[in-house]
Amino acid sequence: MVVKVFNEALAAPRAMASTVLGGLYTGYLFSKSDIVPILGPALSMSMVLAGPTDLVAFLEGFVWTELHLMAFETKNQIVGLDEDKLAKPHRPIPSGRITPESTQTLYICLVIASFIMSARHGLLTPSLIYFAAIFAYNEFGLARNWVMKSALSAIGYICYCWGMSVCFDHDRPLSHLSWMALVMTGAIFATTGQAQDFRDREGDAAIGRKTLALILPQGVGRWSLGALLFAWTTGLVYFWLPPAGFSLLLYVLATVSTYLFVTDYTEESDRRAYWWYNMWLISCHALPIFHRLRGAAM
């Protein structure tokens, strides 16, 4: 009898805990595929641009970025449901974890929360730019055009780094050097972001999306991407002047990614190549640290 009463008393807290954990896991599934390619580079650059920060500022920057990323992902996965049913059935909507209607409600809540947090940190400008970009990306269908997709994705990358850097730096405005770094990161992703599209060719073709991975002959698209990785590596090394060891690391990461892209055209190999590309991208985003270190040594 006592055990029964005890179990009944715990039933409500258990149900609540299960609901909360289930909701958090669903949120994780929405942004799972973008943890490395988006949060990785954004964290790398923001920590470099802002310098040492405290735990509260770090968490605020992380939450600001995650709110904006989740807002994009929820809307993008509503719009791309047919594609996800075919190529990514594990995602929350096609797997049945959440309905499109509930996802739309979640999206609205995320947008509101993003603007509230941006108002608190003086970041309404990047939020307005960001949501205008993702509205054009999703609702206007500009993601189907490879030029607009690359441009809008680059704007998103800049906004992630912008907001996170300001939060990490306790709401101080970005310096001139920080703006130069953000413009560079936007240009890098605008010209090499097609690396992500090789692994998604089947789904993109099914919905009629025109990406460089589909438009260009495979050899041309892959070798041109490799050439861009090496060109950017050379330019970034020249501009930021990292130590020889770090420069070598960038060239090694670019080489491994290029090798995988050009030697095996399967989507499984492209996913591995994309992982190495992201390691290269994260390392590129860390380059401004060497300018900071040289300034501190003077």
14 falls within a domain:
no
Please name the residues in contact with 128: beta carbons below 8 A apart, sequence gap of 6 or more. Answer: none
1-10, 56-65, 87-96, 119-128: range with lowest mean pLDDT: 1-10
Model confidence pLDDT, tens digit, residues 145-169: 888 888 999 999 999 999 999 999 9
231 falls within a domain:
yes
More confident residue, 230 or 146: 230
Burial of residue 129 (CB within 10 Å: 0-12, 13-18, 19+) is middle
207 falls within a domain:
yes
- CA nearest to 43, candidates 58, 28, 21: 58
Binned at pLDDT 50, 70 and 90, residue 142 comes out as: confident
Model confidence pLDDT, tens digit, residues 244-254: 999 999 999 99
157-171, 172-186, 199-213: range with lowest mean pLDDT: 199-213
Binned at pLDDT 50, 70 and 90, residue 6 comes out as: very low
Percent of the chain at pLDDT > 70 equals: 92
2 falls within a domain:
no
Total domains in the chain come to 1
7 falls within a domain:
no
Residues of the domain holding 79:
39-292
CB-based contact 166:172 (threshold 8 Å): yes
Residue 297 pLDDT: 59
Residue 69 pLDDT: 95
Q: How far apart are CA 178 and CA 292, in angstroms?
A: 11
29 falls within a domain:
no
More confident residue, 89 or 63: 63
Q: How far apart are CA 91 and CA 84, in angstroms?
A: 7
Model confidence pLDDT, tens digit, residues 233-244: 999 999 999 999
Q: Is the pLDDT of residue 4 over 80?
A: no
Q: Is the pLDDT of residue 198 over 80?
A: yes
Residue 235 pLDDT: 97
Q: Is the pLDDT of residue 79 over 50?
A: yes
Instruction: Give pTM, 2 decimals.
Output: 0.89
Q: Is the pLDDT of residue 231 over 90?
A: yes
CB-based contact 211:197 (threshold 8 Å): yes
Residue 218 pLDDT: 93
Residue 264 pLDDT: 94
247 falls within a domain:
yes
Residue 202 pLDDT: 80
273 falls within a domain:
yes
Residue 18 pLDDT: 60
